[in-house]
Structure 1
């Protein structure tokens, strides 16, 4: 199977996820700066979630550049990833409206962890789907950034239960992981450059 429908469907779903998130934003009461300050948690949660969805879209695009052929397992692994990404509007809205209460923050970090695991499973499914997908296998190598991200998510899941300081640590870790992944996976770019030197 070719990857074109998978890419088109994924792009469409990610665009819908972002649309849902922005539609969940409500305008502040009144016309003063103080009204905007009252909704800052919702705006902050939206910005963080938008960045996460953007990171996944960007890295998914890079991932697909390494793919030659897919199979049914890859299609299901991709749907598994999209499922977890589709929960970002829910946990983002909950975290913002609760002003970053412990349980919503734990759930937000849990969704972030599951999306990262789903992305890893998608990568493995692509490698196993066909020997022509060797570029991704070549690029995977030592995934230190991925392992650090998983550890940060696990800590971010647990720390909100320790109180307000734990919530701050959790939020800081989620932001840190997002900053780590703002630049697309350079391992893939390096392998593509070696395969197709210009």
Structure 2
């Protein structure tokens, strides 16, 4: 019989903390949206870059929250490594309001788009690291096996789109980052809905 890593806290406590921080991040996103100078269709259209950046960030954070719950549901063992990686994930996610505003105000700027994409990529990498820490801490948990299977198909596609967008945004078309992120959100949403239907 293998010895399980020490449990540092209950799963519910850490999950509740992560939920609260993600909710605050999403709330800050909407507070960062400017009001139109004139309340009219034209005034709202003048904010299309801000609304697009907000929508992309909100959709991705919403998917992050849903995926975390899907991945955490069968987990039993929470280790210090899981706690540390969860805090790292929240650290990167906390940059979403800042980079969303940055890219909304400078949509054609390569540096703004690359910074925006890096926040997505680093948060994605952190999420996978958290998931792997859950799997490593409880290798006998059969309920975690589907997570291993899902990661072989979804993660490379999502990261590939993000990396491709980063390269294009850095050297050619800055807005390619936002387009790549939208593509990654669509892939992730489809995969998530298919998994939940099983």
Q: 1:150 aligns with which of 156, 159, 168?
A: 159
TM-score (norm 2): 0.87
1:38-76 Cα shifts (integer Å, max 9, x gaps): 111011000000001000000001111120111111111
SS at match of 1:181: helix
What does the per-residue CA deviation read over 1:100-124, in whole Å, with 9 as the maximum and x for residues that have no partner? Answer: 4211111111111111110111011
Match of 1:162 among 165, 171, 184: 171
Query: Shift in Å at residue 182 of structure 1?
Result: 1.6
Give the drift of 1:81. Answer: 1.1
C-alpha distance in 2, partners of 1:14/1:30? 32
Which segments of structure 1 move beyond 4 Å, counting only runs of 4 or more?
185-190
| Number of equivalences | 188
Note closer, same or farther for the CA distance 1:72–1:185 as it changes in structure 2 (3 Å cut): farther
Alignment-derived partner of residue 118 in structure 1 = 126
Partner of 1:174: 181
- 1:64 and 2:85 matched: no
Aligned-partner Cα distance in 2 for 1:68–1:188 = 20
**1:35 maps to 2:43:** yes
Partner of 1:54: 62
Unpaired runs of at least 5, structure 1: 191-198
Question: For 1:12 and 1:133, how far apart are their aligned partners in 2?
Answer: 27
Q: Retained in 2: the 8 A contact 1:66–1:136?
A: yes
State the secondary structure of the residue aligned to 2:15.
helix
Q: Aligned residue for 2:87?
A: 79
Shift of 1:167: 2.4
Contact kept? 1:109, 1:157, Cα under 8 Å: yes
- The CA deviation at 1:173 is 1.1
Assess if the C-alpha contact under 8 Å between 1:153 and 1:174 holds in 2: yes
Taking the aligned partners of 1:188 and 1:77, their CA distance within structure 2 comes to: 25
Are 2:100 and 1:92 equivalent residues in the alignment? yes
State the distance in 2 between where 1:138 and 1:174 align.
25
Q: Which runs of 5+ in 2 are unaligned?
A: 1-6
Tell me which residue corresponds to 1:9: 17
Deviation digits for residues 60-103 of structure 1 (CA, Å, limit 9, x no counterpart): 01111120111111111111111111111111110001134211
